[in-house]
A and B are shown apart, each in its own frame.
Chain A
Amino acid sequence: MSVLQIQNVSKSFGNLRAVEDVSIALDQGDNLAIIGESGCGKTTLAKMIMGLAKPDTGFIKAQYYSVQMVFQDPNQSLDPLWNVWGILKEALWRKGALPPQDIQKRIEQMLVAVGLSPQVLQRFPHEFSGGERQRIAIARALLADPQVLVLDEAVSALDTLVQKQIIDLLKKLKQDFNLTYIFISHNLRLVRNFSDKIVVMYQGKIVEEGRTQSVLSAPAHPYTQQLLQAAFYTNFRNL
């Protein structure tokens, strides 16, 4: 069952063609990685998926508000002036007026689900570590009952150990909440570990796509080969 359909989407800023003729179809339960270097149009694509930017041509079909996003930097994505309660309650906005006990219950359950204690509700973002902050951001996204979760470099700002914890958490949550992931990253090692399908973007275009194993073991496009080589180099051939 298709939960998100991206059809021939293009977007340019002035002369810069950020995204060019991109088509992706996503089925329920997919775990798709979009990889590419900085400035290749990954984030622009993510913003269009979220409805934060409008495609120049083409269309994106998803159920209304069924897509949520976890941002790269949890320092930026949580409003520093609001405590956890205020941040998470916002995610229930679209659900209309809920009885207060119900809100409390949902938020506390979600905090437990992402591995935080319900006691943190009165604390402010700066009182948490980066990993904890990202857990709060994930909890916020999940409270809105999404089908698709866009993870825009969601672990890039964290250190390696915390990265692993968050990746494990995301794997668990995928099962628990029956989620579909779009994992936007430049970290090939994480992608290989995490995603089933892969889309390689280069200068706004999709240059290669397929199952993660097949793309990474036998890259067809020169750019993908280059990317892999670079990854080999930086990861000391641990890939």
Chain B
Amino acid sequence: MKIKINRTGLLCFWVLMVLYGLAIFADFICPYAYQDENRDFSYCPPTAVEFQDQGRWVRPFVYGRALTFNAIHRRVYVIDHTQKYPLHFLKGGRLFGVDAPGRFYLWGADARGRDLFSRIWYGARISLSIGLLGVGISFILGLLIGGIAGYYGGWVDNILMRVCEMFMMIPGFYLMLALRAAVPENFNSVQVYISVVVILSLIGWASLARIIRGMALSLRERDFVLAAKTLGVPDIVIIFKHILPQTISFSCATLMLTVSSYILAEAGLSVVGLGIQDPIPSWGNLLSDAMGIVPVIFAPWILLPGLFIFIAVVCFNVIGDSLRDAFDPMFNEKG
């Protein structure tokens, strides 16, 4: 089967690939580790890279900065033109950076003087993977339960669909909070990560299962399924071999659309402090720093993680849409 995806979808695909690439190689690309803090540079604004020194082109460098307070006790960083820290590349296993005590903040620093650029890409690891993992689990659940319910029908269908409805009738965010409340407080970061994945997947499977069930209900009457039945092929094999593959085009498109909602859900959970815990960054808990109006006014760069959430969500949605178009035979024949 040949899938032709439209140009916008392709563009979004490559944007996502870049985001995932940066996340995967965060150790190399980021100048600092995510927990590397320096309280002398609290809310330090983005550092300008200088290319000229007294009119001469030189190796790129940054000036040192000193934290002072002005008359109304607001932080002011004063550029110290006597301190110059040349940018070095590929030193210590990192793409770029400056020697201590200089600090290089490409996109500014957070309250504890941690580099936002680094934290965004380390956070991308969590935010971008959690959506995929959560979707993976809820898809396995949704396909399996939907397939079984639709294929068998009758009381099996009834019971499974009532369970689905129980999950669907609780508003997603509150269900998420309730499930999060059931998770012990003293989990370490890995355990929290896994529990957030599980929580996300538990809120999403039900709607998928209902749709797959509807498709399976009609597919089970198709001749090739009846033929497999008369050949004595076991039901579970029929479900996996004949029913679920037929739903794949729909599933792929829905999968992409669901990933974005999971990224948002993780962000939502982390923004209110119930998701990934500091110091481990995720785009959600990075954004939770921006909940107060004061930091946003004086350090607007801490909104940057929101931009990346936005980009990732838009990309997944566009890819999902164009996949759906690509799989839609009516749409394909025209173009």
Contact = CB atoms under 8 A, between A and B. Distances in A.
Nearest to A73: B223
B223 A93 contact: no
Interface in A67-112: 67-69, 71-73, 76-79, 81-82, 90-91, 93-94
Contacts of A82: 241
A76 B245 CA distance: 15
A140 B223 contact: no
A50 interface: yes
Interface of A is mostly: loop
Nearest to A86: B241
B227 A140 contact: yes
A96 to B, nearest CB: 11
B232 A94 contact: yes
Contact of A81 (B228, B237, B245): B245
Contact of B232 (A65, A71, A81, A140): A65
B230 A93 contact: no
Nearest to A75: B223
A39 interface: no
Contacts of A73: 223
Contact of B231 (A71, A72, A93): A93
B233 A69 contact: no
B222 interface: yes
B226 interface: yes
Contacts of A191: none
Interface in A35-66: 47, 50-52, 65
A79 B224 contact: yes
Given A79-B242, A81-B246, A68 B230 contact: yes
A94 B237 CA distance: 12
B222 A76 contact: yes
B229 interface: yes
A78 B228 CA distance: 10
A93 B233 contact: yes
A69 B224 contact: no
A93 B232 CA distance: 7
Nearest to A94: B232
Contacts, number: 55
A79 B222 CA distance: 9
B258 to A, nearest CB: 23
Interface string B90-130: 00000000000000000000000000000000000000000
A166 interface: no
Contacts of B223: 71-73, 76-77
A149 B17 CA distance: 54
A71 B222 CA distance: 11
Contacts of A71: 223, 226-227
Contacts of B222: 76
A82 B224 CA distance: 11
A76 B230 contact: no
Contacts of B246: 81
A98 B1 CA distance: 30
Nearest to A65: B232
B224 A77 contact: yes
Interface in B199-224: 222-224
B32 to A, nearest CB: 49
Contact of A76 (B224, B229, B233): B224
Contact of B229 (A52, A78, A81, A91): A52
Contacts of B237: 93
Nearest to B1: A81
B228 A90 contact: yes
A144 interface: yes
A236 B231 CA distance: 41
B245 A77 contact: no
Contacts of A50: 226, 229-230
Nearest to B224: A79
B99 to A, nearest CB: 59
A91 B227 CA distance: 9
Interface of A: 47, 50-52, 65, 67-69, 71-73, 76-79, 81-82, 90-91, 93-94, 137, 140, 144
Given A51-B230, A52-B229, A137-B227, 16 more contacts: A47-B226, A65-B230, A68-B230, A71-B223, A73-B223, A76-B222, A76-B224, A79-B242, A82-B241, A90-B233, A90-B241, A91-B231, A93-B232, A93-B233, A93-B234, A140-B231
Interface of B: 1, 222-224, 226-234, 237, 241-242, 245-246
The 5 closest A-B pairs by CB, nearest first: A77-B223, A76-B223, A94-B232, A79-B224, A71-B223
7 contacts: A51-B230, A52-B226, A52-B230, A90-B233, A90-B241, A93-B234, A144-B232
